[in-house]
Amino acid sequence: MLFEGLELVSALATLAACLVSVTLLLAVSQQLWQLRWAATRDKSCKLPIPKGSMGFPLIGETGHWLLQGSGFQSSRREKYGNVFKTHLLGRPLIRVTGAENVRKILMGEHHLVSTEWPRSTRMLLGPNTVANSIGDIHRNKRKVFSKIFSHEALESYLPKIQLVIQDTLRAWSSHPEAINVYQEAQKLTFRMAIRVLLGFSIPEEDLGHLFDVYQQFVENVFSLPVDLPFSGYRRGIQARQTLQKGLEKAIREKLQCTQGKDYSDALDILIESSKEHGKEMTMQELKDGTLELIFAAYATTASASTSLIMQLLKHPAVLEKLREELRAQGILHSGGCPCEGTLHLDTLGGLRYLDCVIKEVMRLFTPISGGYRTVLQTFELDGFQIPKGWSVMYSIRDTHDTAPVFKDVNVFDPDRFSQARSEDKDGRFHYLPFGGGVRTCLGKHLAKLFLKVLAVELASTSRFELATRTFPRITLVPVLHPVDGLSVKFFGLDSNQNKILPETEAMLSATV
């Protein structure tokens, strides 16, 4: 027994020594990690590097960021201020909040900073994209892509977008049970990008498979750039390869079949615009451009669409006020049924309250956190040096949350954007849901057009209610969305009597 006791004590002592050694090793390695980045400060500048933590070796604070969501930025902003350092997705990063700070970054493009997404994003989106290009290449690409989102192009997309949304809402209403709005909104925006924006005639079964692959791609666009088996980055690479094959097949089929088109889609415009600028696009450039267009039209629009529906559910008075505007403009009859005919850009442009609703959704529920840049030369921000070579991220959502021009910042209040109040008129960079400067989102007008059509169709043709007792939590990765989706029951309405359609009522009765 004595020897057994001694052996137990010895084993415990060994275990304790191992734990102490591991703890010391972690502490030392973390300290060296902090010093490693402190040493990168620009010695020619007397200002200090921003406060903050670089987290653990190699992974930095990526784990904290993924787990904390919106709490990550707010907790560190409260502790360190509007400018703080961290380490995310394999890169040292300085996060920036506040209109004046953001203005300096956005207006400093090409001389103070240059665009640089995280390595995983750059590699997965591809080198030929507008997002990854810089300087003259970026300017020329924007000229080519800008025609895709011109007034004439949007007017030609509008009837097709309205039809896709109408078909989708009918399908939602005919479903006997509640739907997951976020998942369905992703399918809707993906279908809009494929069918309307790009004009691809992909069979439904192949389209469903392509959607599943695209989801895997998007889920790993913001991942640690570690190319190991079963890593998110590897899954993203595999999804990109599969997508490229599917897109190349669709592009080749589309180029061979030009008959029966009643409008020029984005891919047609992209090809013609490139020729006008004296350059024939290669297949690889077409695939990268197509993938970027889907990316631009998909995740952020699905996020904003879900937020729009959630806010209309939370605020029935807003929905009713929207319906009153539609009645006043002749889009919705006083009896409640929608008027016949398609929408037009001028009609949507005259809906002032609708515009306020969309602006408020984009203010309070901006789909993406911000934009990434790399520092070309050391400069000063809020009394700190922003060293050359570091990454910097300007925060859109936190700038909205802390903007002094907005009253009751956490309250959903579309009227803050009305002509009587115009809370966004003071200061250009207090409100920037689509970024700013030379890299303002090219697709912002298409995104707002889609959201407006969705809101009009929801207010005109749908009755919907929350299928759960409470609204879901929100996460920010990879874009803002409900953690478990948004469970909502849609009901089909008779266009003449504003009642539930008989077939829908029958299906509902069958489930009781």
Are the CB atoms for 409 and 403 separated by under 8 Å?
yes
Q: Is 18 annotated as a binding residue?
A: no
- The bridge status of strand 391-395 relative to strand 91-96 is parallel
Q: Which two tokens stand for residue 387?
A: 């060293």
- The bridge status of strand 91-96 relative to strand 83-88 is antiparallel
For residue 496, which amino acid is it? Answer: N
Q: What is the dihedral of CA 37, 39, 45, 46, to 10 degrees?
A: 100
Residue whose C-alpha is closest to residue 246's, from 280, 182, 198:
198
Cβ neighbours of residue 62 closer than 8 Å, sequence gap 6 or more? 55, 87, 88, 89, 90, 224
- The bridge status of strand 113-115 relative to strand 179-180 is unpaired
Are the CB atoms for 352 and 418 separated by under 8 Å?
yes
Residue whose C-alpha is closest to residue 86's, from 95, 77, 74:
95
Are the CB atoms for 443 and 149 separated by under 8 Å?
yes
Helices (runs of H) and strands (runs of E) counted in the chain: 18, 12
Are the CB atoms for 443 and 142 separated by under 8 Å?
no
Q: b/e for 341-374, b at 16 or more Cβ within 10 A? A: eebebebbeebebbbbbbbbbbbbbbbbbbbbbb
- Three-state SS for 216-236 is HHHHCCCCCCCCCCCCHHHHH
Q: What 3-state class would DSSP assign to 388?
A: coil
Sign of CA dihedral 74, 78, 84, 89: negative
**How far is residue 437 from each of residues 55, 345, 417, measured CA to CA in Å?**
32, 25, 22
Q: How far apart are CA 490 and CA 478, in angstroms?
A: 27
Q: What 3-state class would DSSP assign to 395?
A: strand
Which residues are known binding-site members?
A: 441
Indicate the annotated binding residues for heme.
441
